[in-house]
Amino acid sequence: MPPTSPTPVLIVDDEADLRNLLVEALSDQGYEAEGAESGEAALAKIRQRHFPVVLTDLNMPGGLSGLDLVQAIRQEDPKAFPILITGYATTESAILALKSGAYDFITKPFKFAEVEASLTRALDHYRTRRENEAYQQNLEAMVEARTEEILGLKDEIERLFEGFVQASVTAIEARDPSTSGHSARVAELTVGLAEAVNHTPNGAYGHVHMGEQQLRELRYASLLHDFGKVGVREQVLVKAKKLEEGRLEQIFQRQHQRSLEALVGELRGAWAKGLPYDPAFIEQLLLSHQQESEVLMEMLARSNEPSVLAREVASELDRVAGLAFDHWTGVRRPLVDAPDLELLRIPKGSLSAEEREEVQSHVTHTFRFLSKIPWTRELADVPEIAYAHHERLNGRGYPRGLQSTEIPVQSKMMAIADVFDALAAKDRPYKSAVPVDKALLILEEEARINLLDANLLQIFIEAKVFERTMARIF
């Protein structure tokens, strides 16, 4: 069937009669047929425009033969389909024609219908091939577009997640402003230590090398390691002294009341004995009660501090346990209530055993929270790494008391960063900042008694990883 838009066809033959005959006949059939009298003339035309089919005579004396032309067409315009017209039909010539790249061959003398049939077959094949190419190109474009879309989505998800992590960090720090910046600094120090380990080819961690994804995983674990603090009561979390705020003031007020009670009793006694009104005597009594109160209050204020409780203060507290005052209801009550006295007796720090346990539970809260997130494969260890940040090499860490071999190396790195920041940062309520050299000495001591990893600490110190956050701490 003739094509709807004229298809260019080139007829190459040195015999003008045959050539013109074919050009005319094909033009009548609706093709845009052109003739060329030699292989060279044909090539010149092929270089100018694309002919889907080129019909060429095999024997063209002087110049390119039909076979040469077929081969040249393959170079110049590989999409074209050459058809050879041979003067004699032998199997050899047929094989040669096809081998040289001809699509088909026609033997002379031929009927026009044969030419037409071969041409139609060649064009059908030509069109199928073009359609396949178009389909292929379309498919490639589609794949490219989809890939771009997926990469865009991946980017979006990563940005979304980064935002979520930052928002979580904000939530922790809003809960405990005194540790503001801690998460970010621990992330910076932990990743800094991991990078320093990457650059250390020898030693106990010479074989450890973390790729970009692992560093990312470590960064997220570090940023979120204390997230569980949102599950700890605020008054415990930010507790700077042993007693709740206002409590000590209340005790001081009670002591004032006790002094007045004693004064009233002493004055009653004096008047009962018939002693006269003596302002100097009253002044002296007042002064002595004032002094007694001051000593007691100073001792109570001292025992309210989170520092180590001195032995003499502890025995003073035993004495306080026996002191009482008259409540306005007329009931005799202890000067310091038993739970408060218990808190004042805390030997070190500001937290009672239960409160300490509650603070320590932040690790389990962190793990539960992080375990609910459907992490991607590359970030799958974030919950486990964060879960072990308070575990210690000697098995005395919390919450699980893991042995050294059970603690992920990432958590061992984080533990060093965490302790360093806790010591060196100025913003903890229960202690003032420790100078860097002293903080490093404390870390070394902790490594010596098998709490922190000594090899990692050595890298932390030698590579000066701790300097990474110094500008933000001091």
Kindly state the greatest CA–CA separation across the chain.
163
Residue with smaller CB distance to Fe ion, 70 or 363: 363
Cα–Cα distance for residue pair 399/138, rounded to 1 Å: 58
Nearest to 42 by CA among 57, 28, 27: 57
CA-to-CA dists, residue 34 to 19, 53, 101, 197, angstroms = 9, 11, 22, 75
The least CB distance from residue 460 to Fe ion, in Å, is: 16
Residue 361 three-state SS? coil
Residue with smaller CB distance to Fe ion, 73 or 414: 414
The least CB distance from residue 359 to Fe ion, in Å, is: 9
The least CB distance from residue 368 to Fe ion, in Å, is: 14
Q: Where are the alpha helices (DSSP H) in 29-104?
A: 39-48, 66-76, 91-99
Residue with smaller CB distance to Fe ion, 97 or 189: 189
Residue with smaller CB distance to Fe ion, 418 or 453: 418
Cis peptide before 201 (omega within 30 of 0): no
The least CB distance from residue 214 to Fe ion, in Å, is: 21
Cα–Cα distance for residue pair 120/86, rounded to 1 Å: 19
The least CB distance from residue 422 to Fe ion, in Å, is: 7
What's the token pair of residue 282? 């009253």
The least CB distance from residue 193 to Fe ion, in Å, is: 15
What's the token pair of residue 105? 């061959």
CA-to-CA dists, residue 40 to 3, 12, 85, 157, angstroms = 28, 10, 17, 61
Residue with smaller CB distance to Fe ion, 120 or 364: 364
Residue with smaller CB distance to Fe ion, 237 or 300: 237
Residue 101 phi/psi, 5-degree rounding, is 115, 5
Residues that bind Fe ion (CB under 5 A): 226, 418
The least CB distance from residue 249 to Fe ion, in Å, is: 32
Residue with smaller CB distance to Fe ion, 183 or 255: 183
